[in-house]
Amino acid sequence: MRNTMRITSLSWLLSLLVLVCLLMSPPDFELDDLHMYILLGGVIAWLANYRLAFSGGEVDAAHFGTLLAYLVLGRENDIGTALWIITIGVLGGTMIREWVDFRHKDVPQFKLRSFNTIITSAAQHTLSIFVADFVYHALEGSLPIYGFGIHDFLPMSGLIAVFFAVYLALLILDARDRGYRPRFLVADNWPILTGALLLPVPFAVLGAVLYGNTSGWALATMVGGSVLLVHMGYMLLQTRQAYERQVVELSALTLASRTMRTNLNVESLLDMLYLQVAKLMGVHNFTVALYDADTQELRFPLHIRGQRAIPLGRRPLSNHLIDHVIRTEAPLVIEENVEERALEMGLVPPSETAYSWLGIPLLAPERALGCMVLVSDRPDRLFTTEDSRLLNTIAAQASVAIDNAQLYERTRLQATQLQALTAAVGELSRTLNPNSVMDAITRNAIRIANAQAAALYVYGDHQALTLAAAIGFDSAFFKRPVMPLLIQNHENIDQRFKPLVVRDTAHLHQDNPVRRALEAYHKLAFVEVILRNPETYELIGILGMYFDNPTYLDDDRLEVLQTFAKQGALAMTNAQVFLHIDTALNRRVAQLSVLAETGHELASTKRLEDLFILILDRALIGTNSNAGTLIIADERYNMGLAKLVAHQGYENGVFERLRLMQTVRSQLFRTGNILFIDNVRDYPGYIQLRKQTVSQINIPLLRGRKVIGVLTLEHNAEKAYSNDDEAFLSQLANEASIAMDNIHLLNSLSEGKDRLQVILDSMREAILLVDDDGVIALANPQVKTLLDLDVKRLAGRTIFDAMTDPALQVASKLGFTQEALQDQVRELQRGLWQRATEREEFQVFEPQMRFIQRTTVSVLDSSGRVIGMLFVFADVTEERELRQMQEQFSSMIVHDLRGPLTAVNASMKLLRDLAQPEDSLGKVVLQTTEVSNRAIRKLLNLVNSLLDISKMESGVIALDKEPSHMFHIAESVIKEMQPLADEMEVQLKNTISGKLPAPEIDGDKIERVMYNLVDNAIKFTPSNGMVTIAAQVLDTHFLRVEVQDTGPGVPEEYKTRLFDRYQMMEGRRGRRRGTGLGLTFCKLTVEAHGGQIWIEDNPGGGSVFVFTLPLETVLS
């Protein structure tokens, strides 16, 4: 509007100047020159219609006629006729041109524009020639001209220069008022301006000279030719200009197409599109509207006015010009009168000044993307169908680029969301802490939804929805949180699964509390997603995401949000399950710890009163209860006489006003069943002892099937007790029952202690009893006699205390080292010591030298638990002396017998060598010596065995080891035992493989071991029986050797005892009598080699004597 007023003001000023010039130069028309007036005026009018457009304006060819008329009709000091003919010709030609162009547009705006154009054209010619005339005459130029000499060059040059200077000045002034910068106008269009203005000048001068020297017909002929040449020149210039314009358009379109194809960012794509349109169309009022079919809304990513971007918000599709183009998907050109045309079409006109309006739809296959709009705010820039064609070409390319960019943007956004979703799921899966999970949900919700804030509301107890986590709000939000609209709408969200989306809080009622609260936090849009347990679909909470600006979330983004909500709900469910399990485990661990501690405390408690207080206290601690009672029946299990033995958490005097057996506790004495009460208010007949009590648990204390008491616990919370609590309390009740029995038993034992002391005092053995607390509970007088320990100083003291008394020397006098005795008593205290009866001998020197045998026995209660350690000390000095005398006597006999037997054996060998087997006497001698040799060898074997047994028991025997094959040893034994076997009708068999490894052994002694075993087998094997020798490798570490017989076998009770000295089975005799030393020798010899020997049953009947020998040295 401001430009229009400025242009109109300039037109009125120019018209006033033209009028002044015309009045200053009145015409002097002559009738004889009428034909010349008509010719020159017509030429000027004709040439005024030859326009050559350029950026910023246009020029016509009338200046040829203007100069020609001035030079032909001008006189000395009188240019009035020429000036009027020029003005009339320009006015007439311009009016004709305007009438032709706008003959169908007779509207006021058209008249104003035509007036400005006509006045500007007339002023450009009239004022230019008027000013140039002064310069021409000042340079002593003459009119009319009849020739052109050197003296005419300067005036003519001044005339032309001033004429075109004024002409260009008026042209630039007009362009400036229409918004063009003069410097760019001349710089960008100087070739066109120079050619269009200077080319006709020579023809004008030539025509004036011809007119002065010849007739008017010659002038007419020349003018006609000149007009023809001007016409042809202007046609060529217009053609060239059109081609150049097409080249520029095609270049710009190609560049735009290439740029748009490679650009996938909508904002930069639209910026580039604006630059290309502004360059091609010369218009800087440009708008791009994009249509969202899902929401039926328009958004304006680009709105340029005066080369400046102006932000516009989204709006619904309505009835504006842009909306019409999008609906019809067809271009709309309103060349002028935009407001009236819009109203005629039933559309809302633009709110801004628009002289012309051009809208081109942006189309994708089967849908409209939006619209491109050009608005002209200048009356001289009206859009045409050519502009529509050009912009439509650009729009076609832009539509593809925008569609691709939007597709890329959606894909990129989806990829970003999916990436964020993947990262969020990974973060949620890495933690099971509920608070961390909720913080991660709100933090990742902002990233996935591209929101500015998020809040998580969780259903707690009694289905109350509370704020659990939030991000993006200030601290005031946590004090006054905005509750979800889903709740405030009072709708049944149990049946709702879709998110609630509010794209703009302005769509809510202005009194809506959610709208008012969110606007206080500058949040103008939000979405609420329901969180449900993925398995049970139970409501968990609501996740809200909030935006600073109105925001639309398409279906893809909502689907991603719902997926994230499901993952978040799963993470919350897992975290809650983990928390429940972790809490239960921690509570269970604490309960087990309490049970472990309580077990020791119960075992160490000696008074029932202390025991009852301890039981109730540990029950309260293990279950986090607030109050509790313990009732115990009398010794005859009479519940009517049950009494309260312990209580905590009750007001004073409450039990004086009420008999406890009137409560639910009496029910347990009758049934013996555990009783849970989740809420005492719902339990009929419940008598409340505490106002705060909500839940209760009752546990019976049992002895067998009899109820001996009831443990009752109360809690201030509903459903406070679980199955774990039941298991804990039941175990505690069982331990309490056992502890009560132990105390009763201990009291009974104390009563019988005196009677037992009388018996112990009369014993020859010393007795020392240590209980499971390490206290010396009992010691008889023989402890002083045998061990020289003062009984009075020992009684009632702990072993550890007594060991600190250097005068007593407890450990050494009991046959222990300090460390060994301490370790054994500590194991007893921890309940870890329980062994079979142990016997050990040691020597004491006070009050006299004695050999003492200490026997250690475990003391058990009725349940088999170790409650003490009993030491029995016996004086075995006489037995030891007798045993030594016996061993010395045996050694003496062995040594005394071995020499003579060796001499007899040598004599028999000599006699056998001298005997002749051919005669009868020699045969008798050989048979006799053979029998004698066997008897002697048997005696020597017995003697050697006695000697070796004695040495091995004393530990002084040496083994002469070397690798020996068991196959050869077995063959040697069989060869030697074969006569005896034949005599007993027993078959001997060697199954040992010769490839078995040879262990490092004392071959002579192992051969005697096998000899004794085979001899023993032959002795108990019946006629026609078999004795088999076998061997095999066990796990590459031992060689297992077996001597199998088919005799009657060995009873189980003798399988170990037979290896003791002089042990034989009672009631069973072999076919030959033994000495009871052979198996003892075998046992000691095998064990000296690092092996073992034992007896097994033969599956085919009989016995298997097995011994093992180590192979480690051989195999290594």
Q: What is the pLDDT of residues 474-494, one digit of tens each?
A: 888 888 888 888 877 656 666
Highest mean pLDDT among 320-329, 390-399, 598-607, 895-904: 320-329
In this prediction, residue 1108 carries a pLDDT of 93
* DSSP structural state of residue 915: -
Q: Which amino acid is at 46?
A: W
Q: What is the mean pLDDT of residues 860-874?
A: 82
More confident residue, 826 or 237: 826
Among 113-127, 527-541, 716-730, whose mean pLDDT is lowest?
113-127
Two tokens, residue 165: 């200077």
Q: What is the mean pLDDT of residues 769-797?
A: 83
More confident residue, 233 or 1116: 233
Q: What is the mean pLDDT of residues 855-877?
A: 83
Instruction: Identify the residue whose tokens are 């960008």.
Output: 188
**What pTM did the predictor assign?**
0.43
In this prediction, residue 1041 carries a pLDDT of 94
Highest mean pLDDT among 14-23, 311-320, 599-608: 311-320
Per-residue pLDDT tens over the stretch 414-451: 777 777 778 878 877 888 888 888 898 988 888 888 89
Strand order through the sheet with 706-715 = 643-648, 627-632, 706-715, 695-703, 675-677
Highest mean pLDDT among 150-164, 361-375, 569-583, 885-899: 361-375
Distance CA 121, CA 143 (A): 25
In this prediction, residue 216 carries a pLDDT of 61
In this prediction, residue 491 carries a pLDDT of 61
Residue 831 has pLDDT above 80, yes or no: no
Residue 218 has pLDDT above 80, yes or no: no
User: What average pLDDT does the chain have?
Assistant: 78
When pLDDT is cut at 50, 70 and 90, the band that residue 949 belongs to is low
Q: What is the mean pLDDT of residues 887-899?
A: 60
Task: Enumerate long-range contacts of 19-23, CB under 8 Å, 24 or more apart.
Answer: 21/83, 21/126, 21/127, 21/130, 22/83, 22/84, 22/87, 22/126
Sequence-ordered alpha helix ranges (H) in 430-464:
434-449
Residue 883 has pLDDT above 70, yes or no: no
What's the Cα-to-Cα distance from 837 to each of 608, 750, 806, 870, 871, rounded to whole Å?
33, 25, 29, 10, 10
Q: What is the mean pLDDT of residues 36-56?
A: 73
Percent of the chain with pLDDT over 70: 77
In this prediction, residue 950 carries a pLDDT of 63
In this prediction, residue 2 carries a pLDDT of 46
Residue 745 has pLDDT above 80, yes or no: no
In this prediction, residue 527 carries a pLDDT of 92
In this prediction, residue 221 carries a pLDDT of 67
Per-residue pLDDT tens over the stretch 538-570: 888 899 999 988 887 777 788 888 888 888 888
Q: What is the mean pLDDT of residues 26-48?
A: 78
When pLDDT is cut at 50, 70 and 90, the band that residue 663 belongs to is low
Residue 201 has pLDDT above 70, yes or no: yes
In this prediction, residue 992 carries a pLDDT of 92
Q: What is the mean pLDDT of residues 785-800?
A: 82
In this prediction, residue 544 carries a pLDDT of 92
In this prediction, residue 970 carries a pLDDT of 92
End-to-end CA distance of the chain: 115
* DSSP structural state of residue 876: -
Residue 1115 has pLDDT above 70, yes or no: no
Residue 112 has pLDDT above 80, yes or no: no
In this prediction, residue 565 carries a pLDDT of 86
Distance CA 1094, CA 890 (A): 27
Angle among Cα 734, 736, 738 to the nearest 5 degrees reads 70
When pLDDT is cut at 50, 70 and 90, the band that residue 1071 belongs to is low
Closest CA relative to residue 175, chosen from 361, 10, 32, 368: 10
Residue 598 has pLDDT above 60, yes or no: yes
When pLDDT is cut at 50, 70 and 90, the band that residue 725 belongs to is confident
Contact present, 699 and 670 (Cβ < 8 Å):
no
Sequence-ordered alpha helix ranges (H) in 214-301:
216-262, 266-281
Q: What is the mean pLDDT of residues 37-57?
A: 72
* DSSP structural state of residue 336: S
Other CB atoms within 10 A of residue 165 CB: 14
Residue 119 has pLDDT above 80, yes or no: no
Q: What is the mean pLDDT of residues 34-44?
A: 79
Sign of CA dihedral 20, 21, 24, 25: negative
Q: What is the mean pLDDT of residues 675-682?
A: 83
Two tokens, residue 72: 């032909």
When pLDDT is cut at 50, 70 and 90, the band that residue 1105 belongs to is very high
Residue 106 has pLDDT above 50, yes or no: no
More confident residue, 537 or 1027: 1027
More confident residue, 1096 or 281: 1096
Contact present, 143 and 124 (Cβ < 8 Å):
no
Percent of the chain with pLDDT over 90: 9
Q: What is the mean pLDDT of residues 975-979?
A: 87
In this prediction, residue 574 carries a pLDDT of 86
In this prediction, residue 45 carries a pLDDT of 80
In this prediction, residue 858 carries a pLDDT of 83
In this prediction, residue 8 carries a pLDDT of 61
More confident residue, 1031 or 555: 1031
When pLDDT is cut at 50, 70 and 90, the band that residue 1109 belongs to is very high
More confident residue, 957 or 78: 78
Task: Enumerate long-range contacts of 251-257, CB under 8 Å, 24 or more apart.
Answer: 252/276, 252/279, 252/280, 253/393, 253/394, 253/397, 256/394, 256/397, 256/398, 257/397
